[in-house]
Structure 1
Amino acid sequence: MSRFGFGRRLASEGLGTALLLAVVVGSGIMGQRLSAGNDAVALLGNTIATGAGLVVLISIFGPISGAQFNPAVTLAFLVRRELTMGTAAAYLAVQFLGAVAGVWAAHAMFAEPIFQVSAKLRAGPPQVFAEAVATFGLIGTILATLRFRPQFTPAAVGLYITAAYWFTASTAFANPAVTVARSLSDSFAGIAPVSVPGFILGQLIGAGVGVGVFGWLLGQEPPEDAGAVT
């Protein structure tokens, strides 16, 4: 990452997040149009496209900026002191801007109105808890693969999100920028603005717990016989 200037790193985060949202929202629109009202088929198409897109996007942009594309992940690295406050703030800004741009790009591709507000409610404690679980698992996936198998990280994240679309009640947004941007799409992938605060609360809680648990779990300890006199 240090081989690239700060401007290129910001461009990487913004462009990568925009492409991610174009994948998420665009595949949701396509899935809904082709599924003849079958939400399971629409979700399956949305899931496959998102998981595959993540693998590619992280592989492309990871060497430049780290391919975080996610304020929860950026804050996790800030807490772990792997990013400075200034870098984290800049990453957050371009992630949110890129996410909105990606939603608008998806709308344009499918001849939808560019400016929309979602009416799709995703409310209630189970949904908030689901977002906490989804984000907790995402943080664990990232930290563990970066520690043990860094080259597998793009595939691991894509596979985890693919699974989490189906095992969580919320379909695993696990990303505050994605959540805010999807509130601006009244499509299959949308979320009503009134549901956004609960989702983000769950995501931040999940990220915080994930940093604590996996930071401890993956921490290196001295061998049991360290310091023993032989």
Structure 2
Amino acid sequence: MADSESGGRPALARRLAAEAVGSMLLAALVVGSGIAAVQLSPDQVGLELVENAAATAAGLFAIILMVGPVSGAHFNPVVSLVDAAFGGLSWRDAAAYLPAQVAGCVAGAVLANLMFDRSAVSIASHHRASGAHLLAEVVATAGLILLIFALARSDRAERAPAAVGAYIGAAYWFTSSTSFANPAITVGRMFSDSFAGIAPASAPAFIAVQVVGGAVGYGLVRLFYPPTVAPGRLVSDPRRQADAPHPSRERSTLR
């Protein structure tokens, strides 16, 4: 297999591996820090949430830097679908990203369970699908989409790792749902009966409203940032830098 596709983009197999590994690390980060928070600060829910949110914000920053240049560091089916809708990713590739993201998040939850000497799989019992939680997921997901694509379309994509980490860390607090904002991580968190878990009965409603939030975010991006000549990506793309050396053209695209 060729190391890259035409135009300099990494081969699809490499991108799928990056999405799977990145998603696995993200789920291990969210679930593992939640388990650790409960062990370190038992019966102190506020402090547990601080610890879980801080670890997630910092870790997400690092994970995006790790694999972003390979796959774009989506880790999120909604991001992939919106990117495809904007033309930054083919629909074929977006469809391939989705199972890699979900499988990675499930594997990450299992890995977190094992790292804390728990059963590999424990089905979560935390029911979350109230009306307030579902509204919060629409808000959290729409905000995430708007942030990512706003940075890409305003030529500030190099700030995305820090900005996305900061947004998710803050959204742990300003949303009642603690900002899942991601169907893949929602599925993964079903497999850990821990502080970060979500009961399977709550997951379908969460996923549905996350898709709605993605559509809202897509509309806001189109309103605030009309289409430009080149699509945007979450991280810098060496191919575009090589093809478009003039500083007036976009240096980064959204993946």
The TM-score, its normalising length taken from structure 2, stands at 0.84
Q: What runs of 5+ residues in structure 2 fail to find an aligned partner?
A: 229-255
Q: Deviations over 1:23-68 (max 9, x none)?
A: 0000000001111210111111100110011111111111100000
Question: What letter matches 2:184 in structure 1?
Answer: A
Confirm or deny: 8 A CA contact 1:128 1:201 kept in the other structure. no
Structure 1 runs (4+) deviating above 2 angstroms are none
Correspondence for 1:227: none
Distance 1:135 1:36 in 2: 30
After superposition, where does 1:39-118 map in structure 2 within 5 Å?
39-118=45-124
Distance 1:59 1:102 in 2: 18
Q: What runs of 5+ residues in structure 1 fail to find an aligned partner?
A: 222-230
Q: How far off is 1:130 after superposition?
A: 0.3
Q: How far off is 1:3 after superposition?
A: 3.9
Report the structure, 1 or 2, having the larger helix content.
Answer: 1
Q: How far off is 1:127 after superposition?
A: 0.7
Structure 1 stretch 212-221 or stretch 72-81: which is displaced more? 212-221
2:210 paired with 1:203 = yes
Distance 2:139 2:59 in 1: 22
Confirm or deny: 8 A CA contact 1:145 1:156 kept in the other structure. no
Question: What letter matches 2:124 in structure 1?
Answer: S
Correspondence for 1:31: 37
After superposition, where does 1:80-229 map in structure 2 within 5 Å?
80-148=86-154, 149-219=156-226
Structure 1 stretch 147-156 or stretch 12-21: which is displaced more? 147-156
Q: Deviations over 1:106-154 (max 9, x none)?
A: 0110000001100101021111110000000000110011122111010
SS at match of 1:194: coil
Give the share of equivalent positions with the same residue, in percent: 48
Q: Deviations over 1:61-87 (max 9, x none)?
A: 111000000011111112222221210
Question: What letter matches 1:135 in structure 2?
Answer: T
